[in-house]
Amino acid sequence: MSEKRIKILTISDHPLSPSGVGTQTKYIIEALLESDKFDIVSLGGAIQHAEHKPQITEEWGERWKIFPVDGYGTQDIVRSVIRNERPDILYFMTDPRFYGWLWEIESEIRSLIPMVYYHVWDNYPYPTYNKSFYESNDFIASISKVTQDIVETVAPDVNSQYVPHAVDSEFFKPLPKGQIAEFRKSFDKDHNTEGKFIFFWNNRNARRKQSGSLLFWFKDFLDEVGDDKATIIMHTDPKDGFGQDLNAIVHELGMNKGQVLFSTQKVGMEQLAMFYNMADCTVNISDAEGFGLATLESLSCGTPIIVNMTGGLQEQVTDGKSWFGIGLEPDSKAIIGSQQVPFIYEDRLNGAKVKSAFRNMMYVYSAEVREQMGKAGREHVIKNYNFKTFAESWVNLMLQIHEEEGSWETRKHTNYRLLEVA
């Protein structure tokens, strides 16, 4: 390539980790690299690192450097990377609450390079305390229509654009029924689940995901229909430090005889797709969800869903005409927060509504109806969350930002204080 590549510094969950933020960051990075117009430097956080040595992927070599960091890094780490690597654009992604420290030095950063924020979560009513955060960016990409509406309302002068997640539908797809039957036969033999209705839950064990509440409500449901009627598979860490001790809850509720199964090993997309295909239904009842990648993966595999109608989830379960599962309207809005974050809104469900959804999926909707829901859901994914369109959007967006905003010698924001560049 004759032209100099544009170098982008990304700050997010570690892009090789299995989190939704990490996965989407990886998708974006790979799209940029494949265009041959960009090089990438990544600060990868939000996981426990065995070591903090720089990582080079085999496929991309020096074109993609990953620096593992605790949290999401520090001001001094960001300063050092900018001085040494001289990126042209800073891209960062996840909950805005995690980036107060970064926005404190936006005048330093924006003197040299534009800041691009991929905004993954906020909720109604409009959180005006984020207004200053929004205005500290040159560009905001919004993960959902809800989030885009919030940004446009709170900070209308900031350049922003709706850029939804995407899923690789070539990996997450309906598999041959014979293949699934063989997998299910082996699974039933190992876990005594033959004849049971399978619910699948693929989320991090964090408080807002409602993992503990889900277990209590599932227990009430089984008390009504019978312990031998259904199993829920939870692909998560049951003792995540950010959540609850799910093993203890299962033991206390007496659901340790096959009613609840934990999948704790990191698995590839092929194995994960197998779980989605085997399940009769997936569940995501998070109180707050910017997007909910697992829900999109499920639909792409043709498996219907039960979701809380919050954030980006409400855009996935229906297209306004058809439903691809059961969408549950929140019963109340809770306010949580701290002295650092004044308040955060969460959409809460009650247990009776969730149990009713379990019952409807098992007994009201036939296997044929669930299959039709799943088929329509996959069509919805392919139409609205197309991986090719997603990749093209990010390449074009970064090229546009670089052209319009400049970097280093051509930076237009001359009113900001410059970093001392070594």
Contacts 24+ apart (CB under 8 A), 267-272: 267/235, 269/168, 269/171, 269/172, 270/171, 272/172, 272/202, 272/235, 272/297
219 CB contacts (<8 Å, ≥6 apart)? 253, 254, 255, 259
Q: Under the phi-then-psi rule, with left for phi > 0, alpha for psi from -120 to 50, and beta for the rest, what region is 210? A: left
Contact 301, 167 (CB under 8 A): no
Distance CA 311, CA 161 (A): 17
- At 120 the pLDDT is 79
Contact 138, 405 (CB under 8 A): yes
3-class SS string, 382-411: HHHCCHHHHHHHHHHHHHHHHHHHCCHHHC
Residue 116's CB: how many other CB atoms inside 10 A? Answer: 22
pTM of the prediction?
A: 0.83
Would you give the end-to-end CA distance of the chain in angstroms? 28
Looking at 256-366, list the stretches that DSSP marks H as alpha helix, in order from N- to C-terminal side: 269-278, 293-300, 313-316, 351-359
What are the φ and ψ backbone dihedral angles of 228, each rounded to 5 degrees?
Answer: -90, 10
Per-residue pLDDT of the chain (422 residues; tens, 9 = 90+): 447 899 999 999 888 877 778 888 898 999 999 999 999 999 987 777 667 778 888 889 999 999 888 888 899 999 999 989 999 999 998 877 788 888 889 888 998 999 999 987 777 777 777 888 889 999 999 988 888 998 999 999 999 999 988 888 888 999 999 999 999 999 998 898 999 999 999 988 888 888 889 999 999 999 999 989 999 999 988 887 767 899 999 999 999 888 999 887 776 778 889 999 999 999 999 888 877 888 999 999 999 999 999 888 888 888 889 999 999 999 988 877 665 566 677 889 999 999 999 999 999 999 999 999 999 999 999 999 988 888 999 999 999 999 999 888 787 655 555 455 44
Distance CA 312, CA 255 (A): 32
In DSSP terms, 281 is beta-bridged to 199
List the beta strands (DSSP E) in 276-343: 281-284, 305-308, 325-328, 332-336
Is the peptide bond preceding residue 125 cis, with omega within 30 degrees of 0?
yes
Contact 343, 125 (CB under 8 A): no
Name the residue among 44, 35, 42, 55 with its Cα closest to residue 8.
42
Distance CA 384, CA 315 (A): 10
Name the residue among 286, 165, 108, 140 with its Cα closest to residue 130.
140
The domains located in the chain, with CATH, are 6-166+386-410 (3.40.50.2000), 177-384 (3.40.50.2000)
CA atoms within 13 A on the CB side of 68: 12
CA distances from 87 to 92, 349, 414 (A): 13, 44, 18
- At 370 the pLDDT is 95
Distance CA 280, CA 199 (A): 6
Helix, strand, or coil (residue 74): coil
Alpha-carbon torsion 26, 28, 29, 34, what sign?
A: positive
- The 10s digit of each residue's pLDDT in 276-308 is 999 999 999 988 887 788 899 999 999 999 999
